[in-house]
Amino acid sequence: MNKTLLLLSTAAALMISGCASHEAEVKEHKAAEHVEKTAAAHGASHEKHWDYAENGPAHWGEFSKTCGTGHSQSPINIVPGKSVEMNHQYDLSMHEDVHTTASVIDNGHSIKVTLKAGGTITLDGETFKLLQFHFHGKSEHTVDGKRYDMVAHMVHQNPETKQLAVVAVFFTEGAEDPILNDVINNVGGEIEVDPQDLLPKDTAHYYHYIGSLTTPPCSENVQWYLLKQPVEASKEQIEAFRKYYVDNERPVQELYDRVVESN
């Protein structure tokens, strides 16, 4: 691996989301050199990006090896009957009741809300900061094979170790959600938000396991907490979100030798 590639792949590894296919792009740049001028003239991009269609999940190994070969990948199907008692050392403690400004962007894979000063969670005595939350048009994790109507992924990071912890909030169709309208109506803008409003009343019951990002680079060692109590969103809200994204879910991955904890 030459220096440029090494730098590019280090940058890719540091990215939490977005197109991290720099290495693939570099290779393609070379192959595409002869058509580059023509492509530029037509304003066309020769860059290959991962997506949920022709460069979908089955091809993500071409963008990041881990997506294809990792044995701790997410999402998974949760089988409640097979989960084990929660190791209380890793109990989830949430402190998301903060008022903050956030930017709302359509990043090409989801609608993402990046918080100026998010709340925190604590796990095993370590504090993880809420960086962003985003949505999937159906839940990525399934419970006994069942997919929820939508899911919010709240992405937290330990600023020292850089480890990630994602809290998943499942949505079922029902009453109006207090945050979704603001998000959907302000794509490309800013909103005022209290991330606590995204959470169900009961945040004390969840499934926990160690997995990965569900998008390239599919980095592992991510702490996953799936809250058991879903929140509700109205049919109109779900439809409004799905005008942006409906099939942005990665298929469930093999569990291999991992265990899922539950409380």
DSSP, collapsed to helix, strand or coil, labels residue 165 as strand
Provide the minimum distance between the beta carbon of 188 and Zn ion in the complex, in angstroms, as a whole number: 20
SS percent in the chain: helix, strand, coil, step 5: 25, 30, 45
Distance in angstroms (rounded) separating the CA atoms of residues 135 and 58: 21
Exposure letters 186-202 (e unless 16+ CB within 10 A, then b): eeeeebebebeebbeee
Catalytic residue among 42, 88, 109, 153: 109
Rounded Cα distance, 261 and 147, in Å: 19
Any bridge partners for residue 211, and if so which? Answer: 222
Supply the minimum distance, in Å, between the C-beta of residue 49 and Zn ion: 17
- The residue among 8 and 64 lying less far from Zn ion, judged by its C-beta, is 64
| Shortest Å distance, C-beta 209 to Zn ion | 15
Minimal CB distance residue for Zn ion: 153
Beta carbon of residue 245, minimum distance to Zn ion (angstroms, whole number): 11
Nearer to Zn ion, 8 or 78 (CB): 78
Count of residues interacting with Zn ion (CB under 5 A): 1
Examine the residue annotation and report whether 49 is marked as an active-site residue of this protein. Answer: no
- Convert residues 134-173 into a mask of x (bound to Zn ion by CB under 5 A) and - (unbound): -------------------x--------------------
Residue 77 to residue 145: CA distance in whole angstroms:
6
Contact footprint for Zn ion (CB under 5 A):
153
Q: Which residues are catalytic?
A: 109
